[in-house]
Structure 1
Amino acid sequence: MTISVLGAGAFGTALAIALSRDGTRITLWSRNADDAARMQDSRRSGGRLPGHHLPDSLTVTADGTAFGAATCLVAVPAQNLASFLRDHDFRNGGVLIACCKGVDRATGLGPVATIRSARPSHTAAIMTGPSFAVDIANGLPTAIVLATERAKESRKLQSLLTRPALRLYRSTDVRGAELGGALKNVVALAAGIAVGAGLGDSARASVVARGFGELARYAALQGAKRKTLHGLAGLGDLVLTCTSEKSRNFSAGVALGQGRDIDRETTIEGLATAPVIAERAAAAGLGLPLMQATADVIEGRLDISRAVQALLSRPVGKE
């Protein structure tokens, strides 16, 4: 079965390296022909994941034939996923696996729902969980979730894509997998803001714990399963993202907390996700004070000191 990784950013490149390390033939597609040629000729990764050796079984190309693979791992940002799917021709009846975490700000759809909307004849899946590109590229042990609605398809994809150091756990709870990955980015921004503003480690722990509670309440309202949220796609990803400066969302939060500018060249999915979730939760009558405050800071409605004061002024209740 042919496999392509579409998107030669850090995560897409890391996945392509990991999947081809055992000799499996993998195609990595880059939108930039010069970058593709440079990587193919030098056998070294570039961009935001530089210097990693590319296995001989990995081909890097900018050619559109990569989109004809039976299984395509789509490693593009959540905000670009819909247009990417519309703008390219894929093999009829193939498998499209979203390798991004977020909610489309224009439509409110998660990655799998976006695939279904744009490519209804394809099998839609999502790969998500606690994983940094550099760890995957270095062959360090990483456990993530592969979710698709059909159990038979999830078993097939699990067998196809699992590697010794890249362990894929299958799930049919697509909604839980989507929302766990999307919402943890918002909590990570909040945790980073707490750290950057000098509120201390105790405050960060409170943000993570209360943030997970908000994540679980919102996701449950959307039909997610508790087991998924307490597993790799939810709690596992949240822990990683809120405790490491390798996390783009956490680091962006730290920058905000310190009053610094954010690197807009880097994909920070939580910046787009937070306002969508806050708006949808409010419309549903669900109180998510931490996520709402984070969205207010991102959108410029509150400065950080006022947001903190608003949270600390809330009445205390039962845990």
Structure 2
Amino acid sequence: MGNTLATHLDRKGHEVLLYDINEEVVKKINEGIHPYVEGIRFKNVKATTDLNQINEFKNLICALPVQVIPKVITKVNLKGKNFISASKGIIHENLKRISQLVKEIEPKLKFFVLSGPSFAEEVSKGLPTAIVLAYEDKEEAMKLQDALDSENFNVYLNDDITGVELGGALKNVIAIAVGLSDGMGYGYNARSAIITRGLHEMANVGEKFGARRETFFGLSGAGDLILTSTSDLSRNRTFGKLLGQGYSVEEALKKINQTVEGVKTAEALYEIIKRENIFAPICEGVYRIIKGEDPKKVYPHFLSNHLREEFQR
């Protein structure tokens, strides 16, 4: 996603510096070559393996895998920065959202979240996309909105940082459940039910932490959930599908060979729903399967209503 956003910003004429630990990737970028999408060239994008070089920039976009952010972020000078998180997940070790971690390190920085239904390859190719920018400083957010927005990359504003963060994280867990259902051949009825009930669980978790319920019915919630749950471009859906087809967790992760954020998020989320006593059978079931329980025995609990009202919380 970092390279994707660099591609988009490059098209808009912005100066961009990318940080990556992979020297081969950095070399390609500095030669003007997009390292992941064939046929795309950079004009004003440079790359470095030296974190110190990014300190001269005011706007920092973080698109790292969530679990490595704590190790990297302490090496960056965050004073006076706009920190725009494009990472989706919950930090497993301490159950914190990225906003909580970053604000602890530098309370005075301005924090934003860029989230929504946006597969990297499609954005890189300039295909139509709508996304949301969550903010705590509206004036600065409007400047960023103007810098990011384009004809094929529509940026909406939302002041619910907690809701936007949680939507981007939790939808990955539900997408694993949808993939699992599809992998087991349970059909479209089941897929639709899991997406709908999963969205309800996402909103329940969000409300517990002060998010607005309506945020989960926007781009960063329902929008991202629908995309991630229904497309085979989704790593989380693919992971779940492989589990449903009989692969072990280790085999599925090896086959995908990329970060599947929903795995660690499911583990962190399980701790949260147990601690807060939140009714979330789909999220809990995904955790149990990741920890080795038989999917065929766990799956029936995904849609078990325990004789509840539909919108009971």
How does the TM-score come out when normalised to structure 1? 0.90
Residues 192-271 of structure 1 mapped to structure 2, 5 A cutoff? 192-260=179-247, 261-264=251-254, 265-271=257-263
Query: In 2, Cα distance between the equivalents of 1:180 and 1:89?
Result: 26
Q: 1:145 offset after TM fit, Å?
A: 1.0
1:41-81 residue CA offsets vs partner (Å, 9 max, x unmatched): 2x2222xx232422312223334312321101011011111
Identity in percent: 32
Q: Which residue, 267, 286, 292 being the options, matches 2:278?
A: 286
Q: Which residue, 103, 106, 109 being the options, matches 1:116?
A: 103
Q: Which residue, 4, 7, 16 being the options, matches 1:26?
A: 16
Alpha-carbon contact 2:282-2:303 (below 8 Å) kept:
no
1:161-205 residue CA offsets vs partner (Å, 9 max, x unmatched): 222222211111000001111111110000000011111111111
Amino acid aligned to 2:4 = A
Tell me if 1:129 matches 2:119: no
Q: Which residue, 288, 291, 299 being the options, matches 1:296?
A: 288
Alpha-carbon contact 1:18-1:137 (below 8 Å) kept:
yes
For residue 57 of structure 1, what is the aligned residue in structure 2? 44
Change (3 A) 1:58 1:282: same
Query: In 2, Cα distance between the equivalents of 1:186 and 1:161?
Result: 28
Gaps of 5+ in 1: 1-10
SS in 2 for 1:72: strand
For residue 90 of structure 1, what is the aligned residue in structure 2? 77
Query: In 2, Cα distance between the equivalents of 1:106 and 1:133?
Result: 27
SS in 2 for 1:167: strand
Query: In 1, Cα distance between the equivalents of 2:59 and 2:117?
Result: 22
Query: In 2, Cα distance between the equivalents of 1:272 and 1:239?
Result: 20
Tell me if 1:79 matches 2:67: yes
Alpha-carbon contact 1:188-1:242 (below 8 Å) kept:
yes
SS in 2 for 1:253: helix
Gaps of 5+ in 2: none
Tell me if 1:309 matches 2:296: no
Change (3 A) 1:133 1:318: same
Change (3 A) 1:23 1:172: same
For residue 13 of structure 1, what is the aligned residue in structure 2? 3
Query: In 2, Cα distance between the equivalents of 1:311 and 1:233?
Result: 23
SS in 2 for 1:191: helix
Q: 1:118 offset after TM fit, Å?
A: 2.6
Q: Which residue, 13, 33, 38 being the options, matches 1:44?
A: 33
Query: In 2, Cα distance between the equivalents of 1:97 and 1:173?
Result: 14
Query: In 1, Cα distance between the equivalents of 2:237 and 2:228?
Result: 6
Alpha-carbon contact 2:163-2:215 (below 8 Å) kept:
yes
Query: In 1, Cα distance between the equivalents of 2:30 and 2:90?
Result: 33
Alpha-carbon contact 2:37-2:121 (below 8 Å) kept:
no
For residue 8 of structure 1, what is the aligned residue in structure 2? none
Amino acid aligned to 2:210 = G
Alpha-carbon contact 2:110-2:137 (below 8 Å) kept:
no
Alpha-carbon contact 1:85-1:119 (below 8 Å) kept:
no
Query: In 2, Cα distance between the equivalents of 1:30 and 1:308?
Result: 39
Change (3 A) 1:217 1:138: same
1:71-130 residue CA offsets vs partner (Å, 9 max, x unmatched): 0101101111111101x2325211111111100001111122221123323222111110
Amino acid aligned to 1:309 = P
Amino acid aligned to 1:296 = R
Q: Give the ranges of 4+ consecutive aligned residues of structure 1 lying more than 4 Å apart after TM superposition.
A: 311-314
Change (3 A) 1:106 1:52: farther
Alpha-carbon contact 1:154-1:171 (below 8 Å) kept:
no
SS in 2 for 1:252: helix
Decide which moves more: 246-255 or 18-27: 18-27
SS in 2 for 1:147: strand
Amino acid aligned to 2:300 = Q
Amino acid aligned to 1:79 = Q
Query: In 2, Cα distance between the equivalents of 1:74 and 1:312?
Result: 36
SS in 2 for 1:263: helix
